[in-house]
Amino acid sequence: MTDVVTEGGCLCGAIRYHVHGQPTHSMICHCRTCRKAAGSPVVAWLTFPLDRFSFVRGVPAEFRSSPPVVRTFCPACGTPLTYIHVESPAEIDVTTCTLDDPVAFPPTHHSWVSHDPGWLRFNDGLLAHSTTSEYS
């Protein structure tokens, strides 16, 4: 089933993408950079091999949220779309909630919950790592 195509895009429809197959990771990031970049308490992310992702309509805008990280977003409506880290150039993270069907790949854990504002509460039973799943 690795050739199943899943479609997604931004709020206004200017940017559309396809991903092929299953993500290698599905998580909810609580880090303060994602929070600020999205204007949202958390951002859910899917990780795919870069060669399984393609933009099929429009050209996203991009910016570096830190020296090793390039994030893209729709230049018309601002929807955050992707994240690539220079140390993992063969992988791309895609915002889960820009999928046409955000239920397709449910998250397995939370990361960076140590960055949460005090009022944020989750009670979904998923693992919650204080930083990344790699280090905590």
When asked if residue 74 is in the footprint of Zn ion (CB under 5 A), the reply is yes
Least distance between Zn ion and beta carbon 47 (Å): 12
Among 76, 97, 104, 128, binds Zn ion (CB under 5 A): 76
Tokens 């970049």 sit on residue: 37
Non-local (6+) Cβ contacts of 81 within 8 A are: 10, 15, 17, 60, 71, 72, 73, 74, 94, 95, 98
By CB under 5 A, name the one of 12, 59, 86, 127 that touches Zn ion. Answer: 12
Q: What tokens were used for 103?
A: 């239920």
Scan residues 95-124 and list those touching Zn ion (CB under 5 A): none
The distance of closest approach from Cβ of residue 45 to Zn ion in the complex, given in angstroms and rounded to an integer, is 7
Q: Is 31 in the site for Zn ion (CB under 5 A)?
A: yes
What 3-state DSSP class applies to 38?
A: helix
The secondary structure element, H or E, covering residue 80 is strand 80-85
Q: Give yes or no for residue 10 binding Zn ion (CB under 5 A).
A: yes
Minimum distance between the CB of residue 2 and Zn ion, rounded to whole angstroms? 27
Query: Going by C-beta distance under 8 Å and a sequence separation of 6 or more, which residues neighbour residue 37?
Result: 43, 65, 71, 80
From residue 131, how far is each of 1, 111, 128, 134 by CA, in Å?
A: 32, 6, 9, 8
Least distance in Å: CB of 3 to Zn ion?
A: 27
User: Does the footprint of Zn ion cover residue 5 (CB under 5 A)?
Assistant: no
- By beta-carbon proximity to Zn ion, the closer residue of 76 and 104 is 76
Binding site for Zn ion (CB under 5 A): 10, 12, 14, 29, 31, 34, 74, 76-77
